[in-house]
A and B are shown apart, each in its own frame.
Chain A
Amino acid sequence: MRNPMRTNPLAYIPLVLGTIVMLFPLWWMFIVSLETEEKAGSAMVSGSMLRLMPEDPQWNNYPDALREVGSVAWTGFLDALANSIVITVLVVIGTVLSSSLVGFAFARIRFRGRRFLFILMLSTMMLPAQVTMIPLFLLFRSLGWVDTILPLVVPSFFGTAFFIFMYRQFIAQIPESLVEAARIDGSGMLGIWWRIILPICKPVSALTAVFTFIYVWNDFMAPLIYLHSDEQMTLAVALNSFRTQYSGVEDVHLLMAVSIVTMVPCVLLFLAAQKYFIEGLGRGGLKG
C-alpha cells in the first residue's frame, strides 16, 4: 500500500541540484572574500572556468575590511555591531513580553468585544509598512526621536499581531486545571502569566525570538529612515554605506568580507534553531 510514496533514487538529482543552487552564492562570496585584490576583481573566473577554492586565502581581508567601516577606524564597525545587538535584543524582549501578555488575555479572559478585537488585530497583519511609514516618521520626528533607537524599539513593547496570534493559539490549549490550581494558590493573573504561562510557552517564545531577531537584524528600511549619524547606524545600514564607498572592482574582496560578517549571526541562529523556523512557519502560516 505504501508503494506510491516510496522515493525514486532519481529524486535525489533535483535535491542535489537545488541545494547547489541555493548554497553556491554563499560559497562564492566566501571565496571572493579571501582573494587578493588583483584576483578578487576577476572573481571566480580563470579562463572561463569556475574556481571553487581560493588559491591563497587572505584572512587579513577581514580585519582590513572591518577597520574601514564608518569614518573612524574600528569604532565605526564596533558601534554598528553594538547598535544592531542592542536594538535586536530590546525588540526581542519587548515582543515576547507584550505579545505573550496580550495573547494570554485573548485566550483566557472572557470579555465583551473579544472576538471583534481579535479579528481586528489579525487584519492589521495585512497592512503594508509603507502606509504608516511617512506619518510615523513625522510623528517620531515631532517627538524628537529621529536619530535615536526609540522609533525602532518602542513599538515592539505594544505587541505584534502575528505573535499575539501564535501565543493565543498555544495558550488556549493549556489545560484549564493548571491555571485554576494557580488561582487557588492565590496567584493573581499577572503571577499566573509570569510563573505558569511564560514557562509553558517556551516553544512559542523561542519561535517569536528567532523570527524577531532575524527580522530586526536584517531590517534595512526603518534604520535607513530613522538612524542618520555614524554612531547610531546598524550593521545593515553601515554595510550599505560601506558598499557605496568601496564600490570599485579593487575592493570587492573587502565588501564581501563585511557582508559575510553581517550574516554570521543569522547563519548561527538558523543552524541552532532550524526546527523553529521550519516547523513554526509551517504551523503559523497555515492558520494565519
Chain B
Amino acid sequence: MKHDSTPVGLLWISPWIVGFLLFTVIPVSMGLWYGFTDYTLLEKPIPVGLANYARMLQDDVLLTVLWNTALFAGASIVIGSILSIALAVLLSKPARFQSFWRAAVFAPSVLPVVAVAVIFKLGYDADTGMVNSAINTTVGWAGLQGPNWFGSRFWAMSALVLMSLWAVGPAVVIYLAGLRDVPRQLYEAAAIDGFGRWNRFVHITLPMISPVILFNVIIGIINAMQVFAIPVIMTGGGPDRATYFYSMYIYDQAFSYGDMGYASALGVVQFTIILVLTLLILLIGRRYVYYRGA
C-alpha cells in the first residue's frame, strides 16, 4: 500500500511551481542581467558591465527619490503605527454599533486608488478644497488657516503622508486581531496589582502585540517603497521633485525614457533595499519582540 507520493505531490503543486519559474525566477534573473546592459528596446541589450550601477553613484535625481521615499516611509509608518494602534485599542473595547465603527475605519481602504487620488487632489485645493474648508470652519476663528498644500515642498509631502493615514484600515484590523489574542488574565492581574491604564498598555499590551507591530512595519516599508499611483496623479512628483518617489523614477526610466537597462538596475537596488531592511528589522525584532511559546 505504501508508495512514494512525491511525484503526485509535485504534480499537484505544479501550477505554483510553473508560475513561480515563469513569473518570478525568470523575470528576476532577466532583471539582474538587464541591469548589466544598455537596453533601449530598439536594439538587443548590449552588455556594459557595471556602468548602470556606476551611473547611480552620480545620479542626483536618484538621491532625491531615495530621500523622498525614506522621508515618506518614515513619517507614514511612524504616524500610521501610532494612529492604527490607538484606533485598534479604541475599537477593541465593547461599544454600541461596534461593527459600524470598524467598517467606517476600514471602508476607505477598499476604494480604487485612482478615485481616492482624484478626491484628495481636489480636496487639498487651497481655496475650494474640503481640507482647507474644514480647517477654516473648525479652527478658523483661532486665526489658523489651511496652507497652500501643493505650493511648497514641505506641505506637499505632508499632504501625501496625511492622506496615507486615510488607509490605515488593514493595519487597524490586524492590530485588532492581535489585541484579541492578549490573555485577559494579564489585565486582571495587573489591575489587582494597581497598574493604571497607561502602565497596562505599556507593560502588557505593547509587548504582547509586538510581533504584530513588526509585521505591520515590514508591510509598511514594502508598501512605501512601491508608492506610485497617488503621487503620479496628485502631484506628478512636484513641486520641484519634492514628491518624486522611487517607483515613479523606475517607471519613468523604463517607460518614459525607454532606458530598460538602467530601470532594471534600479529595480535590483530597490529589491536589495527592501530585503536588507526586512532582515535588519527581523534581527532587531529578535531582541525586542516577545513571541509567546517561542
B120 interface residue, CB < 8 Å from A?
yes
CA gap between A49 and B134 in the complex, in Å:
8
B147 interface residue, CB < 8 Å from A?
no
CA gap between A237 and B232 in the complex, in Å:
13
Which B residues are in CB contact (< 8 Å) with A4?
187-188, 191, 197, 200
A278 touches B9 (CB 8 A): no
B104 interface residue, CB < 8 Å from A?
yes
A50 touches B133 (CB 8 A): yes
Provided the pairs A132-B23, A132-B24, A274-B99 are in contact, do residues A45 and B9 lie with their beta carbons within 8 angstroms? no
Kindly report which residue of chain B lies nearest to residue A44, judged by CB atoms: B133
The segment from B47-55, B56-64, B109-117, B151-159 that touches chain A is B109-117
Q: Could you give 22 example pairs across A and B, Cβ below 8 Å?
A: A4-B187, A6-B94, A18-B105, A25-B120, A25-B166, A29-B119, A41-B128, A43-B129, A48-B136, A105-B9, A131-B271, A132-B28, A136-B27, A137-B254, A220-B113, A221-B251, A239-B112, A249-B128, A266-B110, A274-B106, A285-B215, A286-B215
The main secondary structure of chain B at its interface with chain A is helix
A126 touches B118 (CB 8 A): no
The segment from B13-21, B73-81, B283-291 that touches chain A is B13-21
Which A residues are in CB contact (< 8 Å) with B177?
281-283, 285-286
The segment from A62-70, A169-177, A199-207, A252-260 that touches chain B is A252-260
A184 interface residue, CB < 8 Å from B?
no
When the two chains form the complex, which single residue of A128, A236, A285 contacts B222, counting CB atoms closer than 8 Å? A128
B256 interface residue, CB < 8 Å from A?
no
A229 interface residue, CB < 8 Å from B?
no
Which B residues are in CB contact (< 8 Å) with A270?
103, 106-107, 110
Q: How large is the interface on A (under 10, 10 to 19, 20 to 34, 35 or more residues)?
A: 35 or more
B242 interface residue, CB < 8 Å from A?
no
B226 touches A220 (CB 8 A): no
How close is B276's CB to chain A, nearest CB, in angstroms? 12
Q: How large is the interface on B (under 10, 10 to 19, 20 to 34, 35 or more residues)?
A: 35 or more
Provided the pairs A131-B267, A138-B260 are in contact, do residues A117 and B112 lie with their beta carbons within 8 angstroms? no
B229 touches A221 (CB 8 A): yes
CA gap between A101 and B17 in the complex, in Å:
13
Kindly report which residue of chain B lies nearest to residue A247, judged by CB atoms: B121
When the two chains form the complex, which single residue of A112, A127, A136 contacts B271, counting CB atoms closer than 8 Å? A127
**Considering the complex, which residues of chain A in the window 89-119 have a beta carbon less than 8 Å from any beta carbon of chain B?**
98, 101-102, 104-106, 109-114, 117
Kindly report which residue of chain A lies nearest to residue B246, judged by CB atoms: A130
A24 interface residue, CB < 8 Å from B?
yes
Which B residues are in CB contact (< 8 Å) with A121?
16, 20
**Considering the complex, which residues of chain B in the window 1-47 have a beta carbon less than 8 Å from any beta carbon of chain A?**
5-10, 12-13, 15-20, 22-24, 26-28, 30-31, 34
Kindly report which residue of chain A lies nearest to residue B181, judged by CB atoms: A286
A277 touches B110 (CB 8 A): yes
Provided the pairs A130-B226, A281-B173 are in contact, do residues A135 and B28 lie with their beta carbons within 8 angstroms? yes
A98 touches B15 (CB 8 A): yes
Extra pairs beyond A43-B133, A137-B254, A221-B228 (5, CB < 8 Å):
A98-B16, A217-B112, A270-B103, A274-B99, A274-B106
**Considering the complex, which residues of chain A in the window 3-22 have a beta carbon less than 8 Å from any beta carbon of chain B?**
3-7, 11-12, 14-15, 18-19, 22
B252 interface residue, CB < 8 Å from A?
no
Kindly report which residue of chain B lies nearest to residue A161, judged by CB atoms: B16
A43 touches B31 (CB 8 A): no
Counting chain A CB atoms within 10 Å of each CB, which of B7, B9, B28, B101 scores highest?
B9
A277 touches B106 (CB 8 A): yes
How close is B124's CB to chain A, nearest CB, in angstroms? 11
Which B residues are in CB contact (< 8 Å) with A133?
250, 254, 267
When the two chains form the complex, which single residue of B27, B137, B166 contacts A132, counting CB atoms closer than 8 Å? B27
CA gap between A155 and B114 in the complex, in Å:
23
Which B residues are in CB contact (< 8 Å) with A225?
255
When the two chains form the complex, which single residue of A22, A106, A135, A286 contacts B104, counting CB atoms closer than 8 Å? A22
A158 touches B18 (CB 8 A): yes
Q: Per-residue 0/1 for B123-153: is the Cβ within 8 Å of any A Cβ (1 yes, 0 no)?
A: 1010111100110110010000000000000
B280 interface residue, CB < 8 Å from A?
no
Which B residues are in CB contact (< 8 Å) with A278?
102-103, 106, 173, 176
Which A residues are in CB contact (< 8 Å) with B95?
7, 11-12, 15
